[in-house]
Amino acid sequence: MPSHDRYRFGDVLLPEAESLARSLPALLRQQQANELDREKIALENKRIEAAQQQNDRAFEAQENARAQATQRYKEEFAFKKEQAKQAEMNRLVASVEEPYQKAMIYRKYGFNDLAENFTAMGDKQEAQKDILKEFDSFTDPNEILQNSSTALSGLDPTSSAATYVREARQQAIDDLDVKYSELLEIPGFRIAHERYTQGMKDLTMSEDNKKLLGEAYVKALEKYGAVDMTTPEASGAGDVSFAEDDAVKAVDEILGGTGLNLDTGEITDTDKPIQEQAQESIQAAEMSLGQVNQALPKQRKKVQEARQQLNLAVSPEQKTKREKTLKFESAVLEELQSRMKEARTLGKQAEGVLKETRREQARFGFQPFR
């Protein structure tokens, strides 16, 4: 191989080196451009990531706000619903009076504690009503006084029912004071009367002792002649009704029975001379008029007291009984007034007969009629 054709060092490497040297700045510039692009891309990625995070935070905030708004709406809706339910319950409770009705309403709306309280209150009121109903069945002052302690023992001392019983008891004592006002001037009867009324007011006294006290009081009434058969309680007029002749019988008891026939006005058919019969009729009529005049003020007072008791009646049963008592006392008063009129008529008739017999005796010198 010729020497000039042989490979010599640098024949290949040198051009490559020169080419590399020429391309190196461009490569460096390209490398720098690539690094710059990578930095731009990294920066853009960070910007995008930051924007995404910001968007995520904004979305999360919006979601939280929406969730909170929804929760607030639910809570407000539940609150308004509960308020409406409470208002409806309060309106229904206010529209009824009976504790049992209130208890039913509270139980319907889930307020079981309040329902139980009002149920207990209703039971208590029903018990009080039963006690008052039984107590109101008594109209005689003695019966009211004797049964007041039993009624009070089953009532709340602070309740209006207990106040009503205490007032009725005091009214009964006042009625007895008025009824026996004349006897109260007698020391012996006054002591028995005060012991009886105060003992009946004593809630700590046993029923046996009160019974003994009542029996002692009855004996005192009998001892001092205070047994009164003209009252509806004594004569039987305190029942459901009284017979028409009860008032007549009561007046007969008041007048004590004179033996006069005031119904017909006739002079009894006897063997006595007419003049003597007429004189006896005049005396009997005067006696009857005196008795009636004495009985009338007392009977008017009884009618007035019965009318006052009727005005104080609080229950239908009590009102009915007191109306019947007033009717009876009024019938007795009317019978007394009728007896007075008849006695006057009979007296005038007897006086006429007496004058006629005296004229006949003066005219003929003897008594012509027998």
What's the pLDDT tens digit per position in 198-238? 888 888 888 888 888 888 888 888 887 765 433 444 433 33
Question: Which of 303 and 14 is assigned the larger pLDDT?
Answer: 303
The pTM score is: 0.40
**Does residue 338 register a pLDDT over 70?**
yes
Q: Do both 356 and 247 map to the same domain?
A: yes
The sign of the torsion formed by the CA atoms of 206, 212, 216, 222 equals positive
CA distance 56 to 44: 18
Q: Which domain holds residue 281?
A: 241-364
Residue 60 lies in a domain: no
| Alpha-carbon torsion, ordered 61, 63, 65, 67, to 10 deg | -150
Residues of the chain with pLDDT > 90, as a percent, come to: 1
Q: Do both 309 and 331 map to the same domain?
A: yes
Residue 200: which of 175, 162, 170 has the closest Cα?
170
**Does residue 165 register a pLDDT over 80?**
yes
Residue 105 lies in a domain: yes
Q: Do both 331 and 255 map to the same domain?
A: yes
Q: Do both 174 and 115 map to the same domain?
A: no
Highest mean pLDDT among 4-8, 240-244, 283-287, 305-309: 305-309
Of the candidates 190, 223, 256, which is a domain's last residue? Answer: 223
Question: Which of 25 and 108 is assigned the larger pLDDT?
Answer: 108
Residue 62 lies in a domain: no
What pLDDT score does 85 carry? 85
Q: Do both 357 and 258 map to the same domain?
A: yes
Would you place residue 159 in the very low, low, confident or very high pLDDT band (cuts 50, 70, 90)?
Answer: confident
What pLDDT score does 5 carry? 56
Tell me the three state secondary structure of residue 260: coil
Residue 234 lies in a domain: no
What pLDDT score does 262 carry? 38
The pLDDT tens digits for 173-197 are: 898 888 888 888 888 888 888 888 8
Residue 150 lies in a domain: yes
Would you place residue 249 in the very low, low, confident or very high pLDDT band (cuts 50, 70, 90)?
Answer: low
What pLDDT score does 32 carry? 85
* Domain count within the chain: 3
Q: What is the mean pLDDT of residues 124-130?
A: 82
Other beta carbons within 10 Å of 200:
22
Residue 22 lies in a domain: no
Q: What is the mean pLDDT of the chain?
A: 76
Spell out a b/e string for 311-331, using b for 16 or more CB atoms within 10 Å of the CB, else e. eebeeeebbebbebbbbbbbb
Instruction: Map tokens 């020497």 to a residue.
Output: 3
Q: What is the mean pLDDT of residues 99-105?
A: 87
Would you place residue 37 in the very low, low, confident or very high pLDDT band (cuts 50, 70, 90)?
Answer: confident
Q: Do both 247 and 335 map to the same domain?
A: yes
**Does residue 45 register a pLDDT over 70?**
yes
Residue 233: which of 248, 250, 212, 221 has the closest Cα?
250
Q: Do both 130 and 142 map to the same domain?
A: no
Q: Do both 216 and 157 map to the same domain?
A: yes
What pLDDT score does 231 carry? 43
Q: Do both 169 and 270 map to the same domain?
A: no
Of the candidates 66, 101, 136, which is a domain's last residue? Answer: 136
What pLDDT score does 102 carry? 87
Contacts of 347 (CB under 8 A, 6+ apart): 281, 282, 285, 286, 289
Residue 31 lies in a domain: no
**Does residue 244 register a pLDDT over 80?**
no
Contacts of 275 (CB under 8 A, 6+ apart): 354, 357, 358, 361, 367
**Does residue 1 register a pLDDT over 80?**
no
Q: Do both 145 and 87 map to the same domain?
A: no
Q: Do both 207 and 124 map to the same domain?
A: no
Residue 46 lies in a domain: no
Residue 349: which of 274, 294, 297 has the closest Cα?
274
Residues of the chain with pLDDT > 70, as a percent, come to: 69
Q: Do both 255 and 304 map to the same domain?
A: yes
CA distance 314 to 316: 7
The pLDDT tens digits for 255-309 are: 554 444 434 444 444 445 555 665 566 666 566 666 777 777 788 888 888 887 7
What pLDDT score does 232 carry? 41
**Does residue 253 register a pLDDT over 60?**
no
Contacts of 117 (CB under 8 A, 6+ apart): 103
Q: What is the mean pLDDT of residues 326-330?
A: 85
What pLDDT score does 345 carry? 74
Q: What is the mean pLDDT of residues 158-177?
A: 89
**Does residue 365 register a pLDDT over 70?**
no
Of the candidates 136, 157, 172, which is a domain's last residue? Answer: 136
